[in-house]
A and B are shown apart, each in its own frame.
Chain A
Amino acid sequence: MLALIYFIILAVIAVGGALCVLFARHPLYGALSLVVSMLSLAGIYGLLGSPFVGVVQVMVYAGAIMMLLTFVIMVLNGARDSRTPRFDKVSLFVFPAVIVLGGLLGVALVSTPFAFDAGTLRGSVALTSATLFDTEASGHGYFILFEAVGLLLLSAMVAAVLMAKRRLGTTDETEGGEN
Chain B
Amino acid sequence: MTNLPLWLIPLFPLIGTVVLAAISLASTGSKKGASEGIVGGLAVLFPLLAFVSTVVIGWNMPTQGVQETLGTWIDIGSFKASFGFLFDSLSRIMLLFVTGIGTLITLYSTGYMHGDRGFARFFAYINLFLFSMIVLVLSDSLLLTFLGWEGVGLCSYLLIGFWNADVSNCKAANKAFIVNRVGDLGFILGMITLAMVSSDLLSYRELSAFLRDAANVELVNILLPIFAMAGLLFFIGCTGKSAQIPLLTWLPDAMAGPTPVSALIHAATMVTSGVYLLARLSDLYVLLPGVMTVVVLIGLLTAFWAAVAGLFQNDIKKVLAYSTISQLGYMFMAAGVAAFDVSIFHVFTHAFFKAALFLGAGAVIHALAGEQDMRKMGGMLKKTPVTACVMIFAFLAIIGFPGFAGFWSKDLILERLYVSGPMGPFLYMMALLTAVITAIYMGRLMVLTFFGKYRGGEESEKHIHEAPASMLIPMVILSLGSIFAGFLWAGLIPGANLFEQTLAPVVGQAQAAFGHASVHVSPWLFAVLGTIAAVVGMAVAWKLFANRRIPLPKGSSAPEGFGATWTFCFDKIHGIVISAFRVLAWVAENVVNRFVMMLQWLVGGLGELLGDFASGLQVAKVRLQMALSLVGVIALVLIVLVYGGLL
Contact = CB atoms under 8 A, between A and B. Distances in A.
A and B touch in the complex (CB under 8 A): yes
B637 interface: yes
Contacts of B638: 104
A112 B621 CA distance: 38
Interface in B616-647: 621, 623-624, 627, 630-631, 633-634, 637-638, 641, 644, 646-647
B647 to A, nearest CB: 7
Interface string A125-137: 0000000000000
Interface of A: prevailing SS: helix
Contacts of A114: none
A94 interface: yes
A101 interface: yes
Contacts of B633: 101
B629 to A, nearest CB: 10
A85 to B, nearest CB: 13
Nearest to B638: A104
A97 B634 contact: yes
Contacts of B624: 90
A149 interface: no
B621 A90 contact: yes
Contacts of A94: 627, 630
B627 A107 contact: no
Contacts of A101: 630, 633-634, 637
Nearest to A92: B627
A104 B641 contact: yes
Contacts, number: 33
Nearest to B621: A90
B627 A90 contact: yes
Interface string A83-112: 000000010011001101100110110011
B634 A100 contact: yes
Contacts of A112: 646
Interface size, A (range): 10 to 19
Contact of B631 (A97, A105, A108, A111): A97
Contact of B627 (A97, A104, A111): A97
A113 to B, nearest CB: 11
Nearest to B646: A108
B194 to A, nearest CB: 75
A107 B646 contact: yes
Contacts of B647: 104, 107-108
Nearest to B633: A101
Contact of B630 (A97, A108, A111): A97
Contacts of A105: 637
B562 to A, nearest CB: 85
Nearest to A109: B646
Interface in A120-156: none
Given A108-B646, A112-B646, A93 B627 contact: yes
Nearest to A94: B627
Contacts of A97: 627, 630-631, 634
Contacts of B634: 97, 100-101, 104
Most interface-central of B624, B634, B647 (chain A CB within 10 A): B634
Interface string B464-481: 000000000000000000
Nearest to B630: A97
Nearest to A101: B634
Interface in A18-42: none
Contacts of A108: 637, 641, 644, 646-647
B606 to A, nearest CB: 30
B619 to A, nearest CB: 10
Given A90-B621, A90-B624, A104 B630 contact: no
B334 to A, nearest CB: 91
Nearest to A100: B634
A93 B646 CA distance: 26
Contact of B637 (A90, A93, A104): A104
Contact of A98 (B623, B630, B644, B646): B630
Most interface-central of B630, B633, B638 (chain A CB within 10 A): B630
Given A94-B630, A97-B631, A111 B646 contact: yes
A100 B637 CA distance: 11
A105 B644 CA distance: 13
A90 B631 contact: no
Nearest to B644: A108
A105 B641 CA distance: 9
A163 to B, nearest CB: 19
Contacts of B630: 94, 97-98, 101
A93 to B, nearest CB: 6
A112 B641 CA distance: 11
Nearest to B641: A108
A95 to B, nearest CB: 10
A68 B644 CA distance: 42
A62 B126 CA distance: 101
Nearest to B634: A101
A112 B647 CA distance: 11
Per CB-CB distance, the 9 closest pairs between chain A and chain B, nearest first, are A97-B630, A94-B627, A108-B646, A101-B634, A104-B637, A93-B627, A90-B627, A111-B646, A108-B641
Given A100-B634, A104-B634, A108-B647, 10 more contacts: A97-B631, A97-B634, A101-B637, A104-B641, A105-B637, A107-B641, A107-B646, A108-B641, A108-B646, A111-B646
22 contacts: A90-B624, A90-B627, A93-B627, A94-B627, A94-B630, A97-B627, A97-B630, A97-B631, A98-B630, A100-B634, A101-B630, A101-B633, A101-B634, A104-B634, A104-B637, A104-B647, A105-B637, A107-B646, A107-B647, A108-B637, A108-B641, A108-B647
